Every structure is written in C-alpha cells, then in structure tokens.
Amino acid sequence: MELMAILGEYMRQVIINKIKNAHTQQIALQEAHIVDKELHDILHLIHQSKPNIDSILLSNNKISDEGAIILSQELYHFKNLKTIDLQFNQIGKKGMIALMTLQANQPNLLIALHGNKIRDEGEMEEIKIAATKSSLSFSNRR
C-alpha cells in the first residue's frame, strides 16, 4: 500500500511537470495512468497555467464515465479548446452522453473517442439523440 502512495505522488509530479513544461498549445498526457479522481486537479492546473490551450491528449488512460462527466463539466472553461483525445479509455454510455452534450454546445470541438466501451453504431446514435436533448435543456438553462 505504501508503494502505491509513493507511485501516486510520483505520477502526480510527472503530470504536473508535463503540464507546466508544455511549450505548445497542446498538453500531452497520453498513457499517464490518469484516473477519474485526478481530473479536477489536472484541469484546474491546465486552466491556471495554460488557459489558451487548444488540445488536450488523454488517450490510453483510465478515464471512465465519471471522468468523462467531469471533463464535460469543466472543459467549457477552455474557450480555445479545439481537440480532446480520449481514445482507448473506459468511457461508456453515460460518459459518452456527457461528452456529446459538451460537443453539441461547442460545435468546433473535436472529441476523439475510438476504443472506448461503445462499439455499436445503434447505441452511438441513441447517445447522440440523448446528447442533443441534453444540449437543448442545457441551452435553455443559460
């Protein structure tokens, strides 16, 4: 258990360094073993240190529906964001709906989702319909 705590702290420092040392408008956090509970802090640090970022790469991590929902709630703060790569994570239907709702509200945002839990085209169509309804509801609340 103690080793996991040390690895967690080490991994956290690695992530902090990748964010702070990014010299482009892209934050590359692929294969960083990021889990849902880290996303609030990661997004806060990115927003504080790189507010004009246009691309966040989070492929091959351990992001599930919970993390996708966090992303969908937090990413609207990033006004210049054009791409978020979430390929090969563990995102299912609830997370996909949240992300598609974000995309419906930010039509210039490209979200790469290949390799997650949704593989059926019919289910993806249901998700897009649910996201559209959610987007309309979100727009009416503003």
pLDDT digits (tens, 9 = 90+) for 81-115: 999 999 999 999 999 999 999 998 898 999 999 99
Nearest to 32 by CA among 13, 47, 51: 13
Rg (CA), the chain: 15
Indicate whether 28 pLDDT > 80: yes
Q: What is the pLDDT of residue 3?
A: 42
pLDDT band at 137 (very low <50, low <70, confident <90, very high): low
Question: Which CATH entry fits the domain spanning 2-141: 3.80.10.10, 3.30.70.940, 3.40.50.1820, 1.10.3720.10?
Answer: 3.80.10.10
pLDDT band at 135 (very low <50, low <70, confident <90, very high): low
Query: Which residues, listed in sequence order, are joined to residue 35 by a DSSP beta bridge?
Result: 62
Q: What is the pLDDT of residue 115?
A: 93
Q: What is the pLDDT of residue 11?
A: 60
pLDDT band at 62 (very low <50, low <70, confident <90, very high): very high
pLDDT band at 119 (very low <50, low <70, confident <90, very high): confident
Q: How far apart are CA 97 and CA 65, in angstroms?
A: 9
Residue 71 near residue 39, CB atoms below 8 Å: yes
| HSE (side-chain half, CA atoms, 13 Å) at 33 | 9
The residue extents of the domains of the chain are 2-141
Q: Please state the rounded mean pLDDT for residues 42-57.
A: 94
Q: Round the average pLDDT of the chain to a whole number and report it.
A: 86
Does residue 108 sit in helix, strand or coil? Answer: coil
